[in-house]
Amino acid sequence: MTDSPEHLTILPEMQLEGFANGDLLSQVLTHMRLTGDRLYSATLAPGERLVLDCNSAHVCVLQGGQLHIQRDDQPATQVQPGDVVLLPHTLEQLRLTAGDGPTTLAICRFWFDAGSFRAMLFALPWLIHIRQAEAAPWSEGLLHFMLLEAHDVQPGGALMVSRLIDLTVIRVLRTWVQQGSASGWLGGLSDARIARVLRAIHEQPRQQWRIEALAKLAGMSRSSFCERFNALVGRAPLRYQNEWRLTLARSMLATQASRIGDVGFAVGYESEAAFSRAYKAFFGRSPRDDHPARPGDALTRREPAPR
């Protein structure tokens, strides 16, 4: 948060700084965890199909030749040398085929962790294509470093490759937003009115927002706001707020020693029971499953959340 919540009656270690601070993109990317395990090169003969792990996400950097990416019966995307492509979802419906000449590319394989911010992941399209002109300032240096680490096996090399893949994915998403072509949640960042609302939801997770208050913050009518928010973010405003709260809570449970009830209170739930029900409905598991047990983990009485 921009302002530390000293006014909250919560334990000292339950500060929200570090969980909901910084710019909106950084806030969400903090909760978009991924694990990268493999970086390799591939060379394809003319017309040869590229076979990738269908259950993983990938980043592909085309080094030479051409690559055609097609989904179902849609027109193929033409990938040129220096272009970077992010394939964030499973690949069952995709066909990746080399062009008329030899094609070489570097491939990063990774997975989004189960605790990642769902509203962000579900809103990502099947393909994000960054052309060479936008990618070159950062992709060439990152690619060189990744290939160096992948080919020169040293202690800690696997961790280095994973972190570099992490940086590459974040850089692709940031470039996509800067281009103004982002859709879904990231597209909301380009709309000043919706971005104001997103920032308020993110920085004040304990606030009991009503649609009318959010619409007023956006400077829009209630109906226009709901329609616009849904179109850009892919979620109703209050559903989005609930998902953000619970994602924030999951991170706090995993990294702080505070009581479960205090975590729920910090993100806007007035009782541990209400928090536990919402958490289990969303994640399919109890908050205790994601939190080390500690003595006295019971909710103490707290003041009502602000309205």
Which span out of 166-170, 181-185, 291-295, 303-307 was modeled with the highest average pLDDT? 166-170
Residue-wise pLDDT for 28-40, tens only, equals 777 777 788 888 8
Other Cβ atoms closer than 10 A to 226? 17
- Phi, psi of 117, rounded to the nearest 5 degrees: -65, 110
CB 287 within 8 A of CB 258: no
CATH of domain 186-290: 1.10.10.60
Model confidence over 130-186: pLDDT tens digits?
Answer: 999 999 888 888 888 877 877 777 787 788 888 888 888 888 988 887 777 666 667
Domain boundaries for CATH 1.10.10.60 within the chain = 186-290
Residues of each domain in the chain carrying CATH 2.60.120.280: 25-179
Q: What is the rounded CA–CA span in Å between residue 36 and residue 26?
A: 19
Give the whole-angstrom CA distance, residue 138 versus residue 134.
9
Phi and psi at 86, nearest 5°, equal -105, 125
Helix (H), strand (E) at residue 243: helix 237-255
Topology, domain 25-179: Jelly Rolls (2.60.120)
Closest by Cα among 95, 119, 96 to 183: 119
Percent of the chain topping pLDDT 90: 39
Q: Report the alpha-carbon distance of residue 187 to residue 160 in Å, rounded.
A: 31
Q: Which amino acid is at 299?
A: L
pLDDT tens-place string over residues 40-50: 889 999 999 99
Q: What is the rounded CA–CA span in Å between residue 73 and residue 69?
A: 11
pLDDT beyond 80 at 196: yes
